[in-house]
């Protein structure tokens, strides 16, 4: 199978690739062997992701969602890498590129929207506010929403948010009402 190189992708990887450590990846597989997600599924493989980053193989597609968002951000791979590749930083770039193309978990998009609208990823709901009052805690806190929004405008986040679509919420295994 021919390998297609994406030069723009390669340039972005290089910009994130501090100390050019990706050049020294010897494909020893220590990252993958220690990855708690890879242990559960072959669809997520940090070593393969670093190889793609090195070669400039842009694998950021809807079909490869688990290959990107399988990363649970535990930072184990960074710690065990013998040549100190900042793997999680590079995977963050993958996630950012995917997010810009609307390929990201809905909960992340919802969280982005909540922080934009309320300044908090989980705004205090009326029942929780009541509970807080009963416990002797302040019912809520004033959040600097305008400042958060001004920063989001300056970084282009607000524009990106406007382009993201969120599916109507299904109750998944990971979600429970508090």
Round to whole Å and give the CA distance between 116 and 155.
12
Query: If binding is defined by CB under 8 A, does position 74 make contact with another protein?
Result: yes
Between residues 3 and 165, which has the closer beta carbon with respect to another protein? 165
Is 71 a binder of another protein (CB under 8 A)?
Answer: yes
88 forms part of the interface with another protein (CB under 8 A): yes
Closer Cβ to another protein, 8 or 42, answer by number? 42
Residues in region 119-158 near another protein by CB under 8 A = 119-125, 128, 131-132, 135-138, 140-145, 147-148, 150-157
Binder of another protein out of 61, 79, 101, 166 (CB under 8 A)? 79
Q: Which is nearer to another protein, 1 or 146 (CB)?
A: 146
d(Cα 12, Cα 156) in Å, to the nearest integer? 18
As measured in angstroms, the least distance from the Cβ of 131 to another protein is 6
Q: In this chain, which of 75, 82, 83, 166 binds another protein, going by CB under 8 A?
A: 75
Do the beta carbons of residue 36 and residue 80 sit within 8 Å?
no
Site pattern 34..63 for another protein (x: CB under 8 A):
--xx--xx----------------------
Of 3, 79, 93, which is closest to residue 50 (Cα–Cα)?
A: 93
Binding site for another protein (CB under 8 A): 36-37, 40-41, 65-66, 69-76, 78-79, 88, 92-93, 95-96, 99-100, 104-109, 111-112, 115, 119-125, 128, 131-132, 135-138, 140-145, 147-148, 150-157, 160, 172-176, 178
């Amino acid at each position: 199978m021919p390998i297609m190189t994406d030069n723009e992708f390669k340039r972005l990887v290089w910009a994130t690739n501090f100390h050019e450590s990706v050049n020294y990846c010897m494909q020893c597989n220590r990252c993958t062997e220690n990855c708690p997600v890879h242990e559960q599924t072959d669809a997520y493989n940090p070593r393969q992701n670093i190889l793609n980053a090195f070669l400039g193989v842009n694998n950021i597609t809807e079909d490869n969602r688990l290959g990107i968002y399988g990363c649970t951000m535990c930072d184990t791979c960074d710690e065990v890498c013998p040549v100190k590749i900042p793997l999680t930083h590079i995977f963050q770039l993958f996630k950012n590129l995917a997010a810009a193309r609307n390929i990201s978990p809905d909960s992340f998009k919802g969280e982005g929207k909540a922080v934009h609208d309320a300044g908090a990823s989980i705004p205090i709901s009326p029942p929780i506010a009541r509970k807080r009052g009963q416990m002797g805690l302040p019912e809520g806190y004033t959040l600097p929403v305008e400042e958060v929004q001004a920063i989001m405008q300056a970084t282009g986040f607000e524009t990106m948010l406007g382009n993201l679509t969120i599916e109507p919420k299904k109750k998944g295994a990971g979600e429970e009402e508090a």
